[in-house]
Amino acid sequence: MKKNYMSAPLPFVGQKRMFANEYKNVLKSITGVSVFVDLFGGSGLLSHITKREKPDVTVIYNDFDGYCKRLEHIDHTNQILTELRKITINVPRNKILPNTVKRRVLALLEQKEKDGYFVDYITLSSSLLFSMKYRLSLEEISKEAMYNNIRKTDYNSAGYLDGLEITSCDYRELFEKYKNREDVVFIVDPPYLGTEVGTYSMCWRLSDYLDVLKVLSGSRYIYFTSNKSSIVELCDWLGKNNGIGNPFEYATKKEFNARMNYNAQYIDIMLYNIA
């Protein structure tokens, strides 16, 4: 009996575990489809659920963020966690690690890197850092206060990727490959506009978020967003004011680098058209 995962086996920012049951209900209502293409595969949870609910269809999982590599080295992660439990055994749960213990933790992670281990800092962040705080390297995690949130049991991903066709490419390339097929549904779960995307393997601007909407036009899709992004509100406004065009088309743009403090900076933009 194959396990049906209702959440991703390893931590991932933006996984759709809260949507899992409702997503399954949507899948049950879809007919006449041979292929599901998960353009922004992320943790693979939506791909996994799709294949479990519809075992006879082809499910393409676009692993652009390297989640499969993290799953591939889950044994390394579990071994590191075993040693972290020993190092932090005298620190109460959810309490900050004393500097002496933190130094031992960092020394362990550094040694594992030297020994050729794949150190999954995103997963380890959930055991060492404040809730929902994720870092990607030894340098980054060393700057943070650490806590004894060490996971008590090992991670397991047995069967999670079974049956999926896995690729890793720009979502636009994948869309072009399947866009003319009538038997395709696109699963579209891009990073949300207005939310932290630091753990994603891509840099997103507003135009990138809006470009994703091109996928939806004329396609069968399941699309995810949030109220933080205001994408739905924006599209509603554009639909009501579709004759406005681009008011900045003939404007001149000037940019200025601004700095708030040593690690926070931004760009001020001035647009003008005074002709």
253 residue type, one letter: K
93, 113, 142: which is the final residue of a domain? 142
- Extract the tokens encoding 236: 């509603």
Pair 117, 61 in one domain: no
Pair 206, 172 in one domain: yes
Q: Structure pTM? A: 0.85
pLDDT at 273: 65
Pair 124, 75 in one domain: yes
Percent of the chain surpassing pLDDT 70: 87
Pair 75, 56 in one domain: no
Count of the separate structural domains present in the chain:
2
Q: Convert the pLDDT of each residue in 20-34 to its tens digit.
A: 888 998 999 899 999
Q: Convert the pLDDT of each residue in 198-219 to its tens digit.
A: 555 556 777 888 888 888 888 8
> Is 81 within 8 Å of 151 (Cβ atoms)?
yes
- Helix 45-53 vs helix 20-28: crossing angle, to nearest 10: 40
Alpha-carbon distances of 58 from 142, 150, 224, rounded to whole Å: 43, 38, 21
Cα(109)–Cα(24) distance, integer angstroms: 39
CATH of the domain at 47: 3.40.50.150
Pair 196, 61 in one domain: yes
List all residues 6 or more positions away from 109 whose beta carbon is below 8 Å from its beta carbon: 80, 119, 124, 138, 141
Give the domain range for residue 37.
Answer: 17-68+158-240
Pair 64, 175 in one domain: yes
Please indicate, yes or no, if residue 152 is contained in any of the structural domains.
no
Q: Convert the pLDDT of each residue in 78-92 to its tens digit.
A: 999 999 999 999 999
Would strands 165-167 and 184-188 be described as parallel, antiparallel, or unpaired?
unpaired
Q: What is the CA radius of gyration of the chain?
A: 22
Average pLDDT of the chain, as a whole number: 88
Which of these, 14, 54, 36, lies nearest to 178 by C-alpha position? 36
Please indicate, yes or no, if residue 48 is contained in any of the structural domains.
yes
Place of tokens 């004011």: 241
Pair 181, 208 in one domain: yes
Lowest mean pLDDT among 57-66, 118-127, 141-150, 219-228: 219-228
Pair 171, 235 in one domain: yes
